[in-house]
Amino acid sequence: MEIKKSLLALAVSSLVMSGSAFAADADAVSIEKLKESFSYEVYGVIAMQALTRDYNDAGKALWAEDSNWKLNNESRIGFRGSKDLAKGPTFIWQIESGYVGGSSAAPGADGKLGVRDTFVGFEGDSWGKIRVGRVLTPIYEIIDWPGSNPGLGDVYDWGYGIAGAPYQDRQSDTVRWDSPTWGGFSVDLAFGRGDKVAEADSNWAGAAAHYTFGGLTLQGAYEHNNTGDWKNDTYLVGAQGNFENGLGFFAQYKMMEAEAQVAGVDDQSQNSYTVGVMYNVSDYQFKIGYAANDKLEDGGQKVAHTDDSVISGQVMYFIDPSAVVYTRVRHVERGEGEAKRVDNANPEFMEYSVGVEYYF
């Protein structure tokens, strides 16, 4: 939603008068000129999902909870803006909160401002966009969407068993460049510091390429992470399509490798894939997806009971261009090794849910 200029002027004036906004030379700032080329937006989503899960005995032990019902509150809010600089490109910025979180989370632990994409940057029509701060990595942006929807993230997103950091999701201390689209082709490049910021060799870098023609998009991505104990390389190829007859699909294959940096520890590898189809008719969308992790390989040998799978079906109804309601059913099975099995069964659960999402 656009903020009225009078309110924006008041906010900017308050910052300037406080002495904190332009401490170096506040008198040089023209408030009227600042207002003319500045845009500011509040955005977000109100998202609530009610679900119930039925665990087997191994699942109850792994997730440390009984079969139950709960609410998944993914509501969040953000602020973003831009300014056309008089002697430069367009300046862009954003700060976004995380999800509200569940009852098990500490108060305010998940919903703080800055948990999701929070950055400053510049953009131009001829050279694209560069952002500095906390942003999605190029490969994870593809993994997250469309690869992990509907409800496939337990396996395809964060459900891998390989050691180290096969990829980041959102990462602070990041510089990312997104190219403009050249004849249907675009590129994303990024690099940054890893999870152990104090260590000189804790770094990551990644890239993604996209080519769109007609209703089809082909994608490829790569990410390298160095965490000190492990060096990880992850490769992804994928395709997605949306067609005028209402049909759509996505498919991805992900190859993860971990090179041990500690003597006596074996290298690891694991592959994953995801596929989904959808059909849009009138105000409805019908969608089904399946994702799986192959068995973990440790020292060239496959490890038993380390493969995972999830199958999910969803019906969504658009009650407004900015709001949907949906129902979803899914089955998740996790392979956590022989020690996590109970009665010769892997941890698993059935989940039934309904939800509503309103975007503003």
Nearest to 293 by CA among 258, 252, 328, 265: 252
- Residues 136 and 147: their CA atoms lie apart, in Å, by 15
* pLDDT digit string (tens) for the chain, length 360 residues: 444 444 444 444 444 444 444 444 555 566 666 666 678 899 999 999 999 999 999 999 999 999 889 999 999 999 999 999 988 899 999 999 998 876 666 666 678 899 999 999 999 999 999 999 999 999 999 999 999 999 999 999 999 999 999 999 999 999 999 999 999 999 999 999 987 776 778 899 999 999 999 999 999 999 999 988 999 999 999 999 999 999 999 999 999 999 999 999 999 999 999 999 999 999 999 999 999 999 999 999 999 999 999 999 999 999 999 999 999 999 999 999 999 999 999 999 999 999 999 999
Residue 218 confidence (pLDDT): 99
Pairing of the two strands 268-281 and 284-293: antiparallel
Q: 320: Cβ–Cβ under 8 A, 6 or more apart, which residues?
A: 358
Residue 5 confidence (pLDDT): 42
- Residues 258 and 234: their CA atoms lie apart, in Å, by 9
Residue 105 confidence (pLDDT): 63
Residue 9 confidence (pLDDT): 43
Nearest to 35 by CA among 17, 8, 11, 16: 8
3-state secondary structure the chain: CECCHHHHHHHHHHHHHHCCCCCCCHHHCCHHHHHHCEEEEEEEEEEEEEEEEEECHHHHHHHCCCCEEEEEECCEEEEEEEEECCCCCEEEEEEEECCCCCCCCCCCCCCCECCCCEEEEEEECCCEEEEEEEEECHHHHHHHHHHCCCCCHHHHCCCCCCCCCCCCCEEEEEEEEECCCECCEEEEEEEEECCCCCCCCCEEEEEEEEEEECCEEEEEEEEEEECCCEEEEEEEEEEEEECCCCEEEEEEEEEEEEEECCCCCCCEEEEEEEEEEEEEECCEEEEEEEEEECCCEECCEECCCCCEEEEEEEEEEEEECCEEEEEEEEEEECCCCHHHCECCECCEEEEEEEEEEEEC
Residue 216 confidence (pLDDT): 98
Q: Which token pair is 21?
A: 């906004």
Residue 195 confidence (pLDDT): 77
Environment class of residue 51 by beta-carbon count within 10 Å: exposed (0-12), middle (13-18) or buried (19+)? middle
Environment class of residue 159 by beta-carbon count within 10 Å: exposed (0-12), middle (13-18) or buried (19+)? buried
Pairing of the two strands 90-96 and 38-55: unpaired
Residue 1 confidence (pLDDT): 47
Catalogue all structural domains in the chain, each as residue range(s) with its CATH number: 45-359 (2.40.160.10)
Residue 20 confidence (pLDDT): 45
Integer angstrom CA distances of residue 352 from 39, 164, 327, 339: 42, 33, 8, 28
- Residues 112 and 123: their CA atoms lie apart, in Å, by 27
